[in-house]
Amino acid sequence: MKKNTLDDDIENVFAYLEFRNSFQMGFVPYFCFKKRIKYILDTDDYLHIRKIFGHLITKGFVIKKKNRASTRYCWNPFSLEESLLVSSKLQTFN
């Protein structure tokens, strides 16, 4: 069984969330995204799931909203270009 790299997993998660129109979920807790990523990748490695989710937040594909004591997240694939999705290891500074 071939193990995917982090970049491959990020692209798979992005493609699935975009295909399923996940922006219609609205603002939901982290565990909703965790369950979807777990289903997409068929993995129980919570550190890997958190790493992928963190990458999507830093690239701007997931919006973070603080609501009193809870934090909610919303999928927003329209905010940035898709070219920013790849290159999780490479960062360019202008």
Neighbours of 23 (CB within 10 A): 15
Q: What per-residue confidence (pLDDT) applies to 92?
A: 45
pLDDT tens, residue by residue, 50-59:
999 999 999 8
pLDDT at 87: 52
**Are 52 and 8 in contact, with CB atoms under 8 Å apart?**
no
Q: Which tens digit of pLDDT belongs to each residue from 8-49?
A: 999 999 999 989 988 888 899 999 999 999 999 999 999 999
58: phi then psi, degrees, rounded to nearest 5: -65, -30
- Give DSSP secondary structure letters for 39-72: HHHT---HHHHHHHHHHHHHTTSEEEEEETTEEE
pLDDT at 21: 87
pLDDT given at position 94: 41
